[in-house]
Amino acid sequence: MRRRRARPPILPGTLDLLILRTLLFGAVHGHGIAKHIRQTSEDVLQVEHGSLYPALKRLEREGLISSGWEQDARGREMKFYRLTAAGREQLTWEESRWRQIVRAMSRMLRPA
Amino acid sequence: MRGSRDDDLKREIQAHLELEAEERVADGMSPAEARNAAHRAFGNVLRIREDARAVWVAPWLDHTLQDFRYAVRGLRRTPAIPVAIILTTALAVGVNLAMVGLIDRALLSPPAHIIHPHRVFSIAFETTGPSGEKGLVSTTSFLSFEAIRTAVPDVTPAAWTASGTSVTVGDQRLPVKARAVTHGYFSMLGVAAHKGRTLIADDDASSPGAAVAVLSHSLWQRAFGGDEQVLGRRLKLGGLELDVVGVMPPGFSGHSTERTDLWVPLPTAMRDLPGWETASTLAFAEIGVRLPADQSVSSAATMLGAAAGARVVLFPIIGADVAPAPHQIAMWLAGVSLVVLLAGLTNCATLSLVRNARRRREAGIRASLGATRVRLAAQVLIESAIVASLATGVAVVAGYWLDEIVRRLLFPFLIESTGMTRRVLVSAATGGACTLLVTAAAGILQLPADVTSAELRGARRSWRRWALRRELLISQTTLAVVLLTAAGMLGQEYYRELASDQYARIDDVVVAEFARGPGSMSAAEQDALLTSAAERVRGLPGVAAATVFFVLPYYNVMAPPIDVPGRGEPRVDGELPFLIESTPELLDILRVEVVRGRRFTAADGASAPPVAIVSEAMARTVWPGVSALGKCIRIGLDSEWDPRTASGPPTPPASAPCREIVGIARDWQPPSGSPGGARRIAHYYVPFSQGLERPPRMALPRVSGLVLRQEPGIDLSGEGIRRAVAGSKDDLPLLEVRPFAALQRPRLVHWLMGTKLLLLFGALALATAAVGIHAAFAHAVVQRRHEIAVRLAVGASRGDVLLMVLREGSVVAARGLVAGIIVAILAGWSARSLIFGLESPGPTVIALTGSLVLLVATLATWMPALSASRAEPGVLLRSE
């Protein structure tokens, strides 16, 4: 069995952003989202499934994403999520907020 | 909704796991290994599902729904006790809903459909009696109504008169309560017809050949099956064909809550009484008014009084037409039904305790699995809420039926219920809340305080809890005994009164009379019909004797001017003696004892010498010290006598013959317990065929009804007598057939009604108590199976065990019995001011109640006792 090293969990509040970001390029199912986050962060960010699905349900309830059962490339029935117009707007907002946080953090962490 | 979302999520996670596993297989794992790894990586599926679900359902709501489903499952798994709780509580609450509905309709609410009912009043007129005493009468002549209508038109006066009668629709004959009204009646009440129209001024003026009628909603249903095309159909009333011109809305009963089926124009109803519009002495009309919003009651009374020429009093129509006696009865009923409610709730508590005691183990398991006490209590609350709402639902339905049963039994004059009133709704909600409170309290009380292993094994027995349950059983039995003993007390009064005086001897006498009112016959027709009917009724099986009458002692009165030659007008205890025109048979049927002289015979005909029989009191007072036999009285109505010019009381005309006294009869005692203690009245008899000559202008009948005696042990049906009287005629008013003794003493009827109702309620309470006793003992036997097994193992016989359980049941019943009888006696004492003459329960009542209660308790404990005695000690002891 492949040994895994301990990976940092996702910062609180950023999972929503990551999910919305993942969906920017088209419909993706839950497993795909988790995988995409892991891969694009070069395995650094590990999405806990325990938080992924509740987050998906929450975003759906808030009207930021929508879902539906569709067949994937291999003909399997999967539930696909896509961004709604409100989600797209939210993503822009969340991203700019994130950039502000990152800027603030890096200023603080830069040696004076 | 929730289920489909949850399934969706489940499916989604499943697909996720499969995909994950596939990728691992692609990485070179075995399928089984890959599946496990995928699961491990994913984490606790259940928890994740819970967390996801929490996004769309608030956790408390989720818990509640879960608890609800859990409770429904639990109730369906062991339905016996919940069903018993629901049914017994529903009956107890239903009785109360029925009582609230009846009392509300009779006393508290205004009659339905009346606009601004507080502005509508009925009028009473002050009168002055012969000795100057003031009184109020509610009827007046049409003349004085016309005077009011002309003088005070803006109070919308209307007149009415009413009584029972019967109508024929097709070949169907129905007893109805009809009201003859002036056309202003409906505008006085401010009510419009449901179909068609109400009465208009033209109806009052129309000829009897074109008469019309307005139906109540219930008569429309009963007689015409709710026919939509009813307008223009005909019904027969008396000799008249009436056109239906309107149907009133459901529940409308006119100005009072008295059930009314039919409204006809007053002139139609009065057509057989010539001169009714102009006779100043014919007081038949009751009058109602609607006051304009700006008019005070006192100013209206002044104006009306000036118009009517007498002081008048206005009575609000709410609760009108209900005498004080029904008020008292109603309050009594309310009290009694509260006892039934108490019995029902106590039973509810007992059964809930038993049910939750059975489920303590389950609660223990749930608690040990992490359920908090709050969660367990919420569970109990939800289950109680389900039970309470079901019970309330059943109670509402039961209440509707009980309302109708009690109405028919006790208040047949009251209008039927047409739905839930606000008061009934509030009572239903209160009843439901009490049920919820009791079941929930019984459940939460039994929640395990802490989870012990003993609790889980179900071995711990709490004597405290059994003691509580036993006290509840005793209270239940007590309440049932209170009701049954009260029934016995009223029943014993009934029999005591029945046996105590002379009317008991005429207990087999039945009186048949035509209901008066719209559609009644002319006097001559009635005389001819009843005289010939006496012959036909005599031939009926079960009829020992039958004859006609005009007046019966202490039932109705006739006191014509009387003169004793040489002594003037005789008075006995200040009263004129009353005349009873009597056929020879009537003296026999009423068992009038002639102590001296002779009775009447067939020879005392119209052309025979006039004779009379006087009562002992009259003989003693009028002819003191000498024998009245052979003396003479003269009676008669002087058509010349005019109250305006007369100087003294009316005297017999000079032409009235001398009637020789041929017999002296035993006095009639006033019926015992008559309201206000009726004054003793002296009576005298003349042969029917030598009866009083009626003044021709009054068109009075000579015969008012038939009186008959039934063979011993035979209960004559009213229907048979009705058929014999009516023959082929189908247009007669309803013939009312009633026992004379009951007519004489309404109190007897009240005793009997009260006895019946309390018996009904008592039986209900006893049955409820039996259910509770059965459930509690069945549970106790299961709980004590270990002890019973030990007893059997050490040599007790099965009979011993059977007796042991039965004995415990009897102890409960006996303690309830003693407490119940004491409470009943105390209640009887305190009710003595209300119910005159009520005595403590006699030995018969106590013995009957006691044996009934003990019998029921034994029957209720029999099955549990039997199952205890059949226990297999070996099996039981091994399993413990």
Task: Please tell me if residue A38 touches chain B, with a CB cutoff of 8 Å.
Answer: no
Task: Please tell me if residue A42 touches chain B, with a CB cutoff of 8 Å.
Answer: no
Task: Please tell me if residue B43 touches chain A, with a CB cutoff of 8 Å.
Answer: yes
Residue B743 corresponds to which tokens in the numbers above? Answer: 């007519």
pLDDT bin (cut points 50, 70, 90) of residue B582 is: very high
Residue B381 corresponds to which tokens in the numbers above? Answer: 């609350």
Residue B772 corresponds to which tokens in the numbers above? Answer: 């509770």
Residues B559, B415 share a domain: no
Q: Is the pTM of this model over 0.95?
A: no
Residues 6+ apart with CB under 8 A from B538: B545, B546, B708
Q: Tell me, yes or no, whether A4 lies in a domain.
A: no
Contacts of A58 in chain B (CB under 8 A): 55
Q: What is the pLDDT of residues B359-386, one digit of tens each?
A: 777 777 777 776 777 888 888 899 999 9
In chain A, the N- to C-terminal Cα span, in Å, equals 45
Q: Tell me, yes or no, whether B588 lies in a domain.
A: yes
Contacts of B55 in chain A (CB under 8 A): 54, 57-58, 61
- Quick check: B310 pLDDT over 60? yes
B48–A56 CB contact, under 8 Å: no
A29–B42 CB contact, under 8 Å: no
Q: What are phi and psi of B364, to 5 degrees?
A: -60, -45
Compare all CA atoms of chain B with the CA of A4 and give the residue at the minimum distance.
B41
Q: What are phi and psi of B559, to 5 degrees?
A: -130, 80
Q: Which of A33, A35, A49 to mutate to test the interface with B (most CBs of B within 10 A)?
A: A49
A78–B8 CB contact, under 8 Å: no
Packing angle between helix A85-109 and helix A15-22, nearest 10 degrees?
A: 130
B16–A56 CB contact, under 8 Å: no
Residues B597, B636 share a domain: yes
Amino acid code (one letter) for B164: G
Q: Which of A53, A64, A66 to mutate to test the interface with B (most CBs of B within 10 A)?
A: A53
Residue B853: which H helix or E strand, with range? helix B843-869
**Residues constituting chain A:** 112
In this predicted structure, what is the pLDDT of residue B875?
A: 67
Nearest residue, CB atoms, B51 vs list A30, A50, A77:
A50
Q: Which domain holds residue A58?
A: 15-107
Instruction: Look at residues B108, B105, B138 and name the one whose alpha carbon lies nearest to residue B122.
Output: B138
Residue in the structure block whose two tokens are 């006691």: B850
CA distance B50 to chain A (A): 9
Work out how many domains chain A is built from and give that number: 1
Task: Please tell me if residue B25 touches chain A, with a CB cutoff of 8 Å.
Answer: no
Contact B840, B831 (CB under 8 A): no
Instruction: Burial-class residue B464 by CB neighbours within 10 Å (0-12, 13-18, 19+).
Output: exposed
Task: Provide the Cα torsion B485, B490, B493, B495; round to 10°.
Answer: -90
Nearest residue, CB atoms, B55 vs list A29, A61, A78:
A61
Mean pLDDT of B475-491: 87
In this predicted structure, what is the pLDDT of residue B445?
A: 80
Mean pLDDT of B267-274: 74
Contact B216, B230 (CB under 8 A): no
A79–B8 CB contact, under 8 Å: yes
Residues B509, B435 share a domain: no
Instruction: Look at residues B692, B659, B829, B753 and name the one whose alpha carbon lies nearest to residue B410.
Output: B753
Task: Please tell me if residue B73 touches chain A, with a CB cutoff of 8 Å.
Answer: no
Residue A83: which H helix or E strand, with range? strand A77-83
How far apart are alpha carbons B790 and B795 in whole angstroms? Answer: 9
Work out how many domains chain B is built from and give that number: 4
Q: Tell me, yes or no, whether B83 lies in a domain.
A: no
B15–A49 CB contact, under 8 Å: no
Nearest residue, CB atoms, B55 vs list A58, A77, A79:
A58
Q: Beta strand pairing status for B240-247 and B234-237?
A: antiparallel
- Quick check: B874 pLDDT over 50? yes
Q: What are phi and psi of B245, to 5 degrees?
A: -110, -10
Q: Which of B22, B27, B48, B50 to mutate to test the interface with A (most CBs of A within 10 A)?
A: B48
How far apart are alpha carbons B277 and B362 in whole angstroms? Answer: 82
What are the start-end ranges of the H helices in B152-310? 185-189, 201-205, 217-224, 266-269, 297-308
Q: Tell me, yes or no, whether A51 lies in a domain.
A: yes
Residue B101 corresponds to which tokens in the numbers above? Answer: 């509905």
What is the rounded average pLDDT for all residues in chain B?
Answer: 81
**In chain B, pLDDT over 90 holds for what percent of residues?**
17
- Quick check: B170 pLDDT over 60? yes
Compare all CA atoms of chain A with the CA of B37 and give the residue at the minimum distance.
A1
CA distance A88 to chain B (A): 21
CA distance B41 to chain A (A): 8
Contact B259, B413 (CB under 8 A): yes
Residues B722, B588 share a domain: yes
For B255-381, strand residue ranges (E) read 262-265, 285-290, 312-316
The DSSP output letter for B210 is G
In this predicted structure, what is the pLDDT of residue B548?
A: 93
The DSSP output letter for B516 is P
Residues B381, B492 share a domain: yes
Across the beta sheet with A77-83, the strand order is A28-29, A77-83, A65-71
How far apart are alpha carbons B292 and B297 in whole angstroms? Answer: 10
The enclosing domain of A82 has a CATH number of 1.10.10.10
Task: Please tell me if residue A53 touches chain B, with a CB cutoff of 8 Å.
Answer: yes
Contacts of B8 in chain A (CB under 8 A): 79
What residues does B447 pair with on adjacent strands?
none
Residues B259, B152 share a domain: yes
Task: Please tell me if residue A29 touches chain B, with a CB cutoff of 8 Å.
Answer: yes
Q: Tell me, yes or no, whether B460 lies in a domain.
A: yes
Helix (H, G, I), strand (E, B) or coil at B572: strand
Residues B517, B493 share a domain: no
Compare all CA atoms of chain A with the CA of B46 and give the residue at the minimum distance.
A50
CA distance B15 to chain A (A): 6
Q: Tell me, yes or no, whether B706 lies in a domain.
A: yes
- Quick check: B248 pLDDT over 90? yes
CA distance B43 to chain A (A): 7
CB within 8 Å of chain B, chain A residues 71-100: 76-79
CB atoms within 10 A of CB B7: 10
Task: Please tell me if residue A7 touches chain B, with a CB cutoff of 8 Å.
Answer: no
Q: Tell me, yes or no, whether A71 lies in a domain.
A: yes
Instruction: Look at residues B120, B90, B514, B167 and name the one whose alpha carbon lies nearest to residue B321.
Output: B120
Residues B755, B861 share a domain: yes
Q: Which residue has the higher pLDDT, B407 or B676?
A: B407
Compare all CA atoms of chain B with the CA of A1 and give the residue at the minimum distance.
B29
CA distance B48 to chain A (A): 5
Q: Tell me, yes or no, whether A7 lies in a domain.
A: no
In this predicted structure, what is the pLDDT of residue B430?
A: 93
How far are the Cα atoms of B70, B365, B435, B596 from residue B360, in angstroms, in the given order?
16, 9, 21, 85
In this predicted structure, what is the pLDDT of residue B818?
A: 92
pLDDT bin (cut points 50, 70, 90) of residue B328 is: low
Instruction: Look at residues B141, B156, B219, B218 and name the one whose alpha carbon lies nearest to residue B191.
Output: B156
CA distance B377 to chain A (A): 29
Choosing from B19, B41, B57, the residue where a domain stops is: B57
Task: Please tell me if residue B9 touches chain A, with a CB cutoff of 8 Å.
Answer: yes
Q: What is the pLDDT of residues B329-369, one digit of tens each?
A: 677 778 888 888 998 999 899 888 888 877 777 777 777 77
Q: What is the pLDDT of residues B63-72, one digit of tens each?
A: 788 888 888 8
Q: Which of B6, B10, B12 to mutate to test the interface with A (most CBs of A within 10 A)?
A: B12
Q: Which residue has the higher pLDDT, B52 or B339?
A: B339
CA distance B465 to chain A (A): 47
- The secondary structure of B121-171, three-state, reads EEEEEEEECCCCCEEEECEECHHHHHHHHHHCHHHCCEEEEEEEEEEEECC
A53–B8 CB contact, under 8 Å: no
Q: What are phi and psi of B86, to 5 degrees?
A: -60, -50
Residues B383, B436 share a domain: yes
Total CB pairs under 8 A between chain A and B: 57
Segment among B201-210, B465-474, B698-707 with least mean pLDDT:
B201-210
Task: Please tell me if residue B429 touches chain A, with a CB cutoff of 8 Å.
Answer: no
Residues B566, B441 share a domain: no
The DSSP annotation for B23-37 comes to HHHHTT--HHHHHHH
In this predicted structure, what is the pLDDT of residue B385?
A: 94
Mean pLDDT of B855-875: 84
A57–B42 CB contact, under 8 Å: no
Compare all CA atoms of chain A with the CA of B54 and give the residue at the minimum distance.
A54
Q: Tell me, yes or no, whether A53 lies in a domain.
A: yes
Q: Tell me, yes or no, whether A8 lies in a domain.
A: no
Q: Which domain holds residue B537?
A: 503-743
The DSSP output letter for B258 is B
How far are the Cα atoms of B166, B575, B666, B667, B684 from residue B613, in angstroms, in the given order?
39, 18, 10, 11, 6
Q: Tell me, yes or no, whether B827 lies in a domain.
A: yes
Task: Please tell me if residue B711 touches chain A, with a CB cutoff of 8 Å.
Answer: no
A79–B41 CB contact, under 8 Å: no
In this predicted structure, what is the pLDDT of residue B601?
A: 92
How far apart are alpha carbons B840 and B833 in whole angstroms? Answer: 14
In this predicted structure, what is the pLDDT of residue B880?
A: 47
Task: Please tell me if residue A70 touches chain B, with a CB cutoff of 8 Å.
Answer: no
Nearest residue, CB atoms, B52 vs list A53, A78, A79:
A53
Segment among B226-230, B282-286, B339-343, B810-814 with least mean pLDDT:
B282-286
Geometric angle at alpha carbon B719, from B716 and B723, rounded to 5°: 115
Contacts of A15 in chain B (CB under 8 A): none
Q: Tell me, yes or no, whether A74 lies in a domain.
A: yes
Mean pLDDT of B690-697: 79
Q: What is the pLDDT of residues B226-244, one digit of tens each?
A: 889 999 898 887 667 888 9
Task: Please tell me if residue A23 touches chain B, with a CB cutoff of 8 Å.
Answer: no
Nearest residue, CB atoms, A53 vs list B9, B15, B27:
B9
- Quick check: B478 pLDDT over 60? yes
The DSSP output letter for B727 is T
Mean pLDDT of B152-169: 76
Residues B584, B493 share a domain: no
Residues B705, B649 share a domain: yes
Mean pLDDT of B45-58: 77
Q: Tell me, yes or no, whether B145 lies in a domain.
A: yes
How far apart are alpha carbons B535 and B526 in whole angstroms? Answer: 15
Instruction: Burial-class residue B648 by CB neighbours within 10 Å (0-12, 13-18, 19+).
Output: exposed
Residue in the structure block whose two tokens are 């289950």: B383
The DSSP output letter for B820 is H
Residue B378 corresponds to which tokens in the numbers above? Answer: 């919420």
CB within 8 Å of chain A, chain B residues 314-373: none
